[in-house]
Amino acid sequence: MEWHASFAPTMRQTAWTLLLARLGIAGLALFYWMLLLFAAAVVGGLYTDQSVDLRFSGFVMVALFGVASALTGLDWAVARQRIALRVAQHDPDGWDELLRRQRNVWRMVVLALLSAVWFALWLSLGMTIA
């Protein structure tokens, strides 16, 4: 199985990707849960100077995308190690599951990144104009 011998470094890369993904997902989860808490605090009236306006809707949008991304990523990170093992054991279905989850997690991450950066841009422009 020469091909699998040469594929071993890729499996090690997968292990590194898994570690980085877990760190990244932990960061995403912290960031977006904080946004959700902030949104809840606005609703609860803790920040009385913050009216429920466009800014609030932006927070909710970013937070929802972020939490969905974190959950999808968590699902992927947990499954990936198991899938990599299946691929190494020549399980043909392992490849499909690996690629399907890879597609799904990147879709969610992209939505979260886009919403976060656009919102940061909106805040930045707002501060610049102010």
Partner 1 sequence: MNDDNPFQASGTEAVVITERQRLLHQTRATVWASAVLLIVPGAALLASGVAAAAYGTAEWWGFAAGLLGLMTLGVVTQLMRFAVAIGRVISDPAPMQWARMFRAERNAWLIASILPAFGMAGLAIRMLGG
Nearby residues of 127 by Cβ (< 8 Å), 6 or more positions away: none
Question: Interface residues for partner 1 in 13-72 (CB under 8 A)?
Answer: 13-14, 16-17, 20-21, 23-25, 27-28, 30-32, 34-35, 38, 66
- Please report how close the Cβ of residue 113 comes to partner 1 at its closest, in angstroms: 6
Q: Is 116 in the site for partner 1 (CB under 8 A)?
A: yes
- Neighbour count for residue 119 (Cβ, 10 Å): 18
Residue 13 identity: Q
- Please report how close the Cβ of residue 85 comes to partner 1 at its closest, in angstroms: 15
d(CA 49, CA 107): 36
Residue 1 identity: M
- Please report how close the Cβ of residue 80 comes to partner 1 at its closest, in angstroms: 11
- Please report how close the Cβ of residue 1 comes to partner 1 at its closest, in angstroms: 7
Closest among 124, 115, 117 to 64, alpha carbons compared = 115
Element of type H or E holding 63: helix 54-88
Q: Is 78 in the site for partner 1 (CB under 8 A)?
A: no
Q: Which of 7, 52, 54, 85 binds partner 1 (CB under 8 A)?
A: 7
Binding-site string for partner 1 from residue 91 to residue 110, where x marks contact by CB under 8 A and - marks none:
-x--xx--xx-xx--xx-xx
